[in-house]
Amino acid sequence: MPQVSLPPGVTDEAYVLALLRATGVLCVYGSGFGTKPEDGFFRVVFLASPRELSEIFDLVADFTRDFLAKPALSEHSGRGVNVRRPPRSAPSSATRSRWLRWRGLSSGAPTSSATRS
């Protein structure tokens, strides 16, 4: 399983939920498979094409860099995690562009499958 070195007080669940909210990329937190929540493991399933996976990995890398640069976003309380949403800030333009391309969106407007090339 991949692992992220999380700051103290941040759990794998908080990381995975923030990743999903910011990028639309779904992973499973490692503590669901018996690892310690603070160890930062997460599980990935590879069902996309190699081209899409490359874009997804770029999204995860960009998100992780930004996530680790911010102050702690979660507080661990017993077994549960209380996730505080950070102030709404736009993702970097490179991250947003990759996300829009990956999701099949152009300039923020959905395109129908009939108009995609």
pLDDT tens sequence across 62-104: 999 999 887 655 443 333 333 344 444 445 666 666 666 666 6
Q: What is the pLDDT of residues 10-19, one digit of tens each?
A: 999 999 999 9
Select the more confidently predicted residue: 117 or 7.
7
32 burial class (0-12, 13-18, 19+ CB within 10 angstroms)? middle
**Predicted TM-score of the model (pTM):** 0.61
3-state secondary structure of 53: helix
Q: What is the pLDDT of residues 26-50, one digit of tens each?
A: 999 999 999 999 999 999 888 888 8
Cα–Cα distances (Å) from 104 to 1, 2, 19, 20, 113, in that order, read 28, 27, 19, 17, 9
Give every CB contact of residue 87 below 8 A, 6+ residues apart in sequence.
none
CA–CA separation, 42 vs 7, rounded Å?
15
